Structure 1
Amino acid sequence: MSDIDLNKIGNILRNRRMEKNLSIRDLSARSDVAASTISQIETGKTSPNLLTLKSLCNALDLPVFSLFMDDEIANVRLVRHNEQQTFIRNISNGKALVESLITQGRNEMWGAIIDIPAHSDSGTFAHHGGEELVFMLEGCIRFELENYQGYTLEKYDTLYYPNYIGHRWINNCDEDAKILIISTSPYKF
């Protein structure tokens, strides 16, 4: 690890310890890591081994991987409404308007608001990796999971499922529907 990495790790641990109102001695007692070692880690003066980091992180309720992440602010993005990308998806009996909520950068999640015309469906079952959450904003739809039961969603209902299960929606209602969809894998249209 470079000095910069050691200082970053030390700062993260120190900030978390202070958030939890713990002294170095308190953290030492909770983690079985010597107080002098904690002090050296927090000031970037020593290179801790993974077991030491795991003990400290467990005592601080902090995931070990968070010590090695890029600066979090680089992963924060604001997309203004007028910057959101909108496109049309062809579906049975019409077109669905898809408003992509995240449009730039390296994303681990994808989100969109989809306007679904009355008496239409998404077609065949979609399969992809990750997880998905559907939140009904307006109207009602029937959501089908392949080899499972179907679910009728009404305003403010939420459905969560793993994306490897085939899924599709059907709007048999007389009114258009609107859903918010959040997925941990890129959506395929």
Structure 2
Amino acid sequence: MSDLDLTKIGNILKTQRLAQNLSLRDLSAKSNIAASTISQIETGKTSPNLMSLKALCDSLKLPVSALFLDDAADRIKLVRKSEQQTFVRNVSNGKESIESLITKGTNEMWGGIINVPAKTDSGNYSRHGGEEFVFILKGTLTFDLEGNETYLLEERDTLYYPNYIGHRWRNDTDEDVEFLIVTTSPYNF
């Protein structure tokens, strides 16, 4: 790595650490890397190995890829309507369409519009990493969080939950339901 790369990586790590109100000792405890080593990495005085970078990034909840992007402009992605992709999957009694709104980027987040036909459900509980946000655009949808409540969501209602909780939905109505879903992990079709 060049000196410029080391300085940039150090600045990103330090900015993230300070944004999370963590001291060097706090980050050291979370990452199992000596505070003095973290300080040297942040100031560009030492070249960290990949395992150290991963440990620091995991502790800061920062993707390692963020350290190697040229600048913030690399993280901005415009997806035109013509570039959006629609997927169809079989569900009980019909086919559910999923319009992927985010087709570019580093896969740190995914968003889509899901159309749930009348009298269908998503099937078994789904579990994955990250968090998920649901916003009902049209209709009424029953959302089931395993081991928790079942929620009846109506137009403009929102639901936010960690993805490690099993989740599934069903449309008990005679009308199609459309909802926006945003998740911090890639969506499996």
1:174 corresponds to which residue? Answer: 174
**Contact 2:118–2:173 (8 Å) recurs in 1:** yes
Compute the displacement of 1:11 (Å): 9.6
Compute the displacement of 1:154 (Å): 0.6
Q: Deviations over 1:6-37 (max 9, x none)?
A: 7758999xxx9xxxxxxxxxxxxxxxxxxxxx
Matched, 1:95 2:95: yes
In structure 1, what residue type is equivalent to 2:166? Answer: G
Where in structure 1 are there 5+ consecutive unaligned residues? 17-47, 54-62
In structure 2, relative to structure 1, the CA distance for the partners of 1:122 and 1:2 (3 Å cut) is same
Structure showing greater radius of gyration is 1
Compute the displacement of 1:124 (Å): 0.8
In structure 2, what residue type is equivalent to 1:146? Answer: E
- 1 CA distance for matches of 2:6 and 2:167? 46
2:82 corresponds to which residue? Answer: 82
Compute the displacement of 1:4 (Å): 2.6
1:109 corresponds to which residue? Answer: 109
- 1 CA distance for matches of 2:155 and 2:114? 14
TM-score normalised to structure 1 length:
0.67
- 2 CA distance for matches of 1:161 and 1:184? 11
1:21 corresponds to which residue? Answer: none
1:137 corresponds to which residue? Answer: 137
Q: Percent identity?
A: 58
Where in structure 2 are the equivalents of 1:41-52 lying within 5 Å?
49=40
- 2 CA distance for matches of 1:51 and 1:77? 28
Q: Deviations over 1:54-80 (max 9, x none)?
A: xxxxxxxxx9x7x95631111111000
2:4 corresponds to which residue? Answer: 4
In structure 1, what residue type is equivalent to 2:90? Answer: N
Runs of 4+ in 1 over 6 A off after TM superposition: 9-12, 50-53
- 2 CA distance for matches of 1:142 and 1:166? 14
In structure 2, what residue type is equivalent to 1:104? Answer: K
- 2 CA distance for matches of 1:151 and 1:180? 16
TM-score normalised to structure 2 length:
0.67
In structure 2, relative to structure 1, the CA distance for the partners of 1:9 and 1:106 (3 Å cut) is closer
Matched, 1:153 2:153: yes
- 1 CA distance for matches of 2:129 and 2:8? 33
Q: Deviations over 1:77-104 (max 9, x none)?
A: 1000011011101111111111001112
Compute the displacement of 1:157 (Å): 0.6
Coordinate RMSD, CA, aligned:
2.8
1:36 corresponds to which residue? Answer: none
